[in-house]
Amino acid sequence: MTVPATPMLATSGPVLPSGTGWTYEFKWDGVRALVNVAAGTVRIHSRLGNEVTIAYPELAGLGAGIDDALVDGEIVAFVDNRPSFGQLQLRMHVRSAKQAAALVAEAPVSFIAFDLLRLYGVDLTARPLAERRATLERLAADFPQWTVSPSFDDGSATEEAARAHGLEGVVAKRQTSRYRFGQRTNDWVKVKFTQSDEFVVVGWEADAADGSATLSSLLLGYYDGDELRFAGKVGSGLSGRESAQLKRQLTTRPGPALTDGAPPPSPGRTATWVEPEVVVQVTYSHWADDGRLRHPVFVGIRNDKDAREVVRDG
């Protein structure tokens, strides 16, 4: 069984496209995954192409009775019937089978399927989305362990329902679209309701009194073409466990990788600069006129995102 390529991506838009030929799906606050099935055995690959099967043992049953399939979708953790990225954080960095098994009861996950790329050895990617979705729904009817993300033909009603249920947003997809591995295309358009984006960690700040021993806030950036620009700082929402995990993942460097220079550290703080490799999720109220985030709150680490893909959406 070969390792699949990275999934097709949606572009960000301010409003949903309308008219004939579009279908609409809820945007789930989870992590993208390709589920590869061969002779009933499941292997799961992240958006970056890394195998993450070991982290989600409860998804092994997806392959029961299926000889061959490749399914695109999202791994989601639900709390009170709503997606919770915070809960998913407990699972998405696990690389130990023993630890993953212990977390199944504490933080269970589900796989929400929304595209079928191969079935019984037949490549479906050149076929229109409408045909792929119909085949996926027939597969789910035959194998009820699969949950398919619902799709609708009324964008306004889909948006209203998503907002009413506190979901992250809506994705519009052109029904005639082919599936293009690794490409970001206007055939899929995502509209997010919450101010929540990914940012590249370019450094951290610590209390000067403790000699930079404890990471207290992150310095954030985003790419504008080949230039890496400063987006602000975030400390709210960072737990001690997450701070320690980030320090282990970050690689220090002698100066900032930022194109627009080093911002001064906050009073009483020291700054440590790092290689722009780690991506984090942050919520915020708005972008200020100075190009910095206002009221940012750390949500989690995104090991499933490549730093070079992080651009400013707002």
Q: Which residues are catalytic?
A: 27
Which alpha helices (DSSP H) does 143-252 contain, by range? 155-164, 240-249
Bridge partners of residue 100, in order along the sequence: none
41 vs 73: CA distance, rounded Å: 17
Q: How would you class 187 by CB atoms within 10 Å of its CB: exposed for 0-12, middle for 13-18, buried for 19 or more?
A: buried
239 vs 216: CA distance, rounded Å: 9
310 vs 200: CA distance, rounded Å: 7
Distance separating the N- and C-terminal Cα atoms of the chain = 40
Please say whether the beta carbons of 233 and 218 come within 8 A.
yes
221 vs 261: CA distance, rounded Å: 11
Task: Map residue 120 onto helix, strand or coil.
Answer: coil
225 to 91, 231, 264: CA distances (angstroms):
32, 15, 24
Q: Which of 300, 278, 276, 269 is nearest to 202 (CA)?
A: 276
162 vs 168: CA distance, rounded Å: 7
For residue 123, the 8-state DSSP code is: E
Task: Map residue 92 onto helix, strand or coil.
Answer: helix
Phi, psi of 258 (to 5 degrees): -70, 135
